[in-house]
Amino acid sequence: MNILLIGHGAREHVIAETFRKNKDVKLFSFMKSKNPRIAALSENISVGSYSDLSGISKFAKNNYADLAFIGPEDPLNNGVVNALKDIGVESVGPTKSMARLESSKSFTRNLLEKHQIEGNIKFTILGKDNLDELSGFLNDIDQAVVKPDGLTGGKGVRVQGDHFNTKEEAFEYCEEVLETQELVVVEEKLDGEEFSLQCLTDGKTVVPTPVAQDHKRAYDGDKGPNTGGMGSYSCEDHLLPFLNKDHVDKALEITKKVSEAIYKETGQFYKGVMYGGFILTKDGVKLLEYNARFGDPEAMNVLPLLRTDFASICQAIILQKLDQVNIDFEKKSTVCKYAVPDGYPGNPVKDEKITIGPGKAKVYYASVEEKEDGLYMTGSRAIAFLGIGNSLEDAEKVAEESICGAKGKIFHRKDIGTKALIEKRVKRIYDLQLLRNGVNN
């Protein structure tokens, strides 16, 4: 089977590795920049822009691609699935219209509201012509979150109390967003613990993967600016220490209803990954956002545990036979930690060498360039280290020991997956439940 993989990061590295567990799979990778590990797993590669739909289509055609798997959000938003479909290549990934689930925050909020799907929150959608409505909305909520309507690489969201403090500052940021975007979405700020539920779907059947928790803040203790994700963890019971099965079932139910709603809205079946960013609050599970692809780093928490042949799953998604596949994951814990360049995310060093030491962790390349004398960082998250173990403690130890062996002008979050941080998260949920029950702490 010839599979076209689009993407160049650590997420796509683990996707490539997972495909290649099947010896009959031949991989052909189209990347924005060359990832040496993906290249090593591929029969052929091409480096170009994700907006070059004709170039991608030509590469797919020349290599007789049987199907395509789309890794990042940009090519989805550009309509690569539509372009490939025009030449007879089906994709695991939504069309441009359905990719609005990620590329348009307003589309998703309106979808939940129109179809009366649980998990929605208070929100308002503003443009330049109705920005004066913001004051009234802010008066109805305690604190706000401001989100550009379109794609921002995970770094455009600003939260009251963290990035701004007053209503005036919220108004100013909305004005700033509207200089480059048509719409801005303002939502109520929720208190709770976030979790990621990534699901595979053929538009009719929705299958969950193990839940994970990402860490957006750059520094230990959840301090510092938001990033693309400094690391993540998952547990051997496929829950999280602050989640029970009912919480995950509720998130899965929401995703199933959203999948049905997309079909009603577009007349098309969503085929690919629906990654829900949820938050457990005192009022239950709420939806923060959807992504139309695997998360980075969360893909690394689930795909290495996959026992079922990934190529067969992708074929079933395209043929709408996902209900006929038994998708199985190992009962293991995982901890992923990113080594990132000094100064990341605001002012990262570039073209600095990074070396990998000995260790038991799986290693996934992200923003690195291979030169004759080794690997050099290109300015974003550089290399992910994944520890796998029978317990969270075991997995964290493997990840931490391995990433500490890496050398260069780098840093990482030491606290991801540690007992101290986990206990802090559990206590937060415990306190919120007490608040709901009217107990004064």
Could you report the per-residue pLDDT of 24-78, keeping only the tens digit for each? 999 999 999 999 999 999 999 999 999 999 999 999 999 999 999 999 999 999 9
Percent of the chain with pLDDT over 90: 93
Average of per-residue pLDDT values in the chain: 96
Give me the CATH code for the 2-93 domain, please.
Answer: 3.40.50.20
Level-2 CATH architecture, domain 192-421? 2-Layer Sandwich (3.30)
pLDDT per residue over 121-146, tens digit each? 999 999 999 999 999 999 999 999 99
pLDDT per residue over 408-433, tens digit each? 999 999 999 999 999 999 999 999 98
Each domain of the chain, given as residue ranges in start order, spans 2-93, 122-188, 192-421
Q: How confident is the model at residue 441 (pLDDT cuts 50, 70, 90)?
A: very low
Query: Closest Cα partner for 335 from 417, 434, 215, 247?
Result: 417
SS (HEC) of the chain: CEEEEECCCHHHHHHHHHHCCCCCCEEEEEECCCCHHHHHHCCEEEECCCCCHHHHHHHHHHCCCCEEEECCHHHHHHCHHHHHHHCCCEEECCCCCCCHHHHCHHHHHHHHHHCCCCCCCCEEEECCCCHHHHHHHHHCCCCEEEEECCCCCCCCCEEECCCECCHHHHHHHHHHHCCCCCCEEEEECCCEEEEEEEEEECCCCEEECCCEEECCEEECCCEEEECCCCEEEECCCCCCCCCCHHHHHHHHHHHHHHHHHHHHHHCCCCCEEEEEEEEEECCEEEEEEEECCCCCCCHHHHHHHECCCHHHHHHHHHHCCHHHCCCCECCCEEEEEEEEECCCCCCCCCCCEEECCCCCCEEEECCEEEECCEEEECCCCCEEEEEEECCHHHHHHHHHHHHHCCEECEECCCCCCCHHHHHHHHHHHHHHHHHHCCCCC
Query: What number is the average pLDDT over the span 331-343?
Result: 98
* pLDDT at 153 exceeding the cut of 80: no
* pLDDT at 440 exceeding the cut of 70: no
Query: Closest Cα partner for 192 from 132, 306, 280, 315?
Result: 280
Query: Closest Cα partner for 5 from 89, 115, 105?
Result: 89
Both tokens assigned to 387: 């520890």
pLDDT of the residue at 151: 84
pLDDT of the residue at 64: 98
pLDDT of the residue at 439: 62
* pLDDT at 156 exceeding the cut of 90: no
Q: Which residues neighbour 91 within 8 Å (Cβ) at sequence distance 6 or greater?
A: 67, 68, 69, 70, 80, 81, 84, 85, 271, 272, 318
* pLDDT at 225 exceeding the cut of 60: yes
CATH for 122-188, options being 3.55.40.10, 3.20.20.120, 3.90.420.10, 3.30.1490.20: 3.30.1490.20
Q: Which residues neighbour 92 within 8 Å (Cβ) at sequence distance 6 or greater?
A: 67, 68, 69, 70, 271, 272, 273, 314, 317, 318
pLDDT per residue over 169-190, tens digit each? 999 999 999 999 999 999 999 9
pLDDT per residue over 349-406, tens digit each? 999 999 999 999 999 999 999 999 999 999 999 999 999 999 999 999 999 999 999 9
Both tokens assigned to 431: 């306190």
The residue length of the chain stands at: 441
pLDDT of the residue at 261: 97
Query: What number is the average pLDDT over the span 89-111?
Result: 97
End-to-end CA distance of the chain, in Å?
59
pLDDT of the residue at 154: 65
